[in-house]
Structure 1
Amino acid sequence: MADEVEATLKALAEAQASVEKEAELNHVTLMSIGEGVITTDASGLVSQMNPVAEQLTGWPLEEATQKPLAEVFHIVRETSREVVINPISQKLTGEKSTKKESGILLISRDGRETQIEDSAAPIRSEDGKVFGYVLVFSDVGEKKALQKKIGWQATHDALTQLPNRSLLADRLAQAVARSDRSNQLMAVGLLDLDEFKPVNDRLGHASGDQLLKLAAGRMHEALRSTDTLARLGGDEFVLVLSDLTSLDEAETIFQRLLNHLAEPYPLDEEVARVTASLGFTLYPLDQADPDTLLRHADEAMYAAKHAGRNRYHLFDAQHDQKLQTRRERTGEIREALNSGQFELFYQPKVDMREGRVTGYEALARWRHPEHGILSPAEFLPYMEDNELAGELGRFALKAALSQIAEWREAGYTDWSVAVNIAPYHFTSVDFLEDLTNATEQFPEIPPECLELEIVESTAIADLQHAANVITACHDLGIRLALDDFGVGYASLSYLKCLPVDMLKIDQSFVRDVLLDKGDLAVVEAVITLSNLFGREVVAEGVEQAEQYLLLLKLGCHMAQGYGIARPMPANLVADWAANWQLDPDWQ
Structure 2
Amino acid sequence: MTYEEQAQIADPRALDPAVLSEQVRVLYGNTAVLPVNLLNAALTAWVAQGLYPRWVLLLWVGSLTVVVFLRLYNSWLYKSEPQPNDAARRWALRFAAGATATGCLWGLSASILLLTDDPSFHVFIAFVLGGMIAGSVTIDAAFLPAMLGFGTPTAMPAIMAFFARPEPTSSTMGLMSAAFVLALLLLGVRANRWIVSLARRELAQAALAADLEKQIEVREKAEQEMARAMRTDLLTGLPNRETFKEWVTEAFHGGEKDGASFAVLYLDLDRFKEVNETLGHSFGDELLRAAAERIGQAIRDTASIARIGGDEFGIFIKDAARREEVDEVAEKIIHSVAAPFTIMGKQVPVSVSIGVSVFGAAIVGPEELLRRADLALYEAKSAGYNQRRFYSEAHDRAVRERVTLFEELNSALEREEFELHYQPEIEWPSGRIIGVEALLRWNHPSRGLLGPGGFIPLAERTGLITPIGAWALANVCRQARLWRDLGICPPIVGVNVSAAQFFTASRFESDLARELDMRDLDPGTIEIELTESVLMQSSRGETTAIDRIRALGVRIAIDDFGTGYSSLEYLLTYRVNRIKIAQQFVRGLPHDPVSATIVRATIGLVQEFGCEMLAEGVETVGQLDFLVQAGCQSVQGFYFSRPVPAEEVTQLLRRGVIAPEDRASNTPR
Q: TM-score, normalised by structure 2?
A: 0.44
| Higher strand proportion | 1
| Higher helix proportion | 2
